[in-house]
Chains A and B, each alone.
Chain A
């Protein structure tokens, strides 16, 4: 496991304990740019760590504790990393079943400067989060 994967694992540990601030401190650069695709209530670009954390809090509020996240693969290079997960959830008869690919670009200090949240079924993700 490379340095960036280790940092990601530490940050994911924090978020699983509900420590969103700590997740940001470990993983995100001050000027991170986070791209969330699609047409949902949280879709758009978020500039800066506090905006990115507000996005995550919004996402967690909208999806509650309903998401089951199964790690599949982490591909790590010198500057970039992609983390594949199988995400499933149920809400009022609506079943979500997608592969997510979280794409990250790391800056010089080892924290993420750009983040893309990729899904293989964006419409399903949008529908689950809800429209803006």
Chain B
């Protein structure tokens, strides 16, 4: 039962992310959640706390002009943890991103995400895509 519930939570998370729905995303994150973003680009690092994570989502959404898409390949979960394998595509100015990610989620007892970490098929491509800010004409 909890497996289905947390798999459904991952689906809902992706849907809310696609809709850019901060309220729904916020409701799925624990207040003290930690979001680890790998790589060596300006957005790499640890985002601590729900507000900080939501601000990060907003920033990358703005930077990509709403083109960032997360297409799940496979979603797995039990009552404590989840795994998401997905294709990430986005445009940023004339830069294009198209990579696969493996993402790990940890849930609290209420089914909210408390920790997230991930790695990609192509870290260099991700670093290049997010390297220094570009102007938005």
Contact = CB atoms under 8 A, between A and B. Distances in A.
A21 B72 CA distance: 33
B52 interface: no
A118 B73 contact: no
Interface in B103-137: 104, 106, 115, 117-121, 123
A128 interface: no
Contacts of A76: 76
Interface stretch (B11-19, B24-32, B59-67, B80-88): B80-88
A120 B80 contact: no
Contact of A73 (B80, B85, B102, B123): B80
B123 A37 contact: yes
Nearest to B102: A103
A118 to B, nearest CB: 5
Interface in A30-65: 33, 35, 37-39
Q: Interface range on chain A: under 10, 10 to 19, 20 to 34, or 35 or more?
A: 20 to 34
17 contacts: A35-B120, A38-B38, A72-B81, A75-B83, A79-B73, A82-B76, A82-B104, A84-B81, A99-B104, A101-B102, A101-B117, A118-B118, A118-B119, A120-B34, A120-B117, A122-B36, A122-B38
Given A75-B82, A84-B81, 14 more contacts: A33-B121, A37-B119, A73-B78, A77-B75, A77-B76, A77-B83, A79-B74, A82-B81, A84-B104, A103-B85, A103-B102, A117-B119, A118-B104, A120-B106
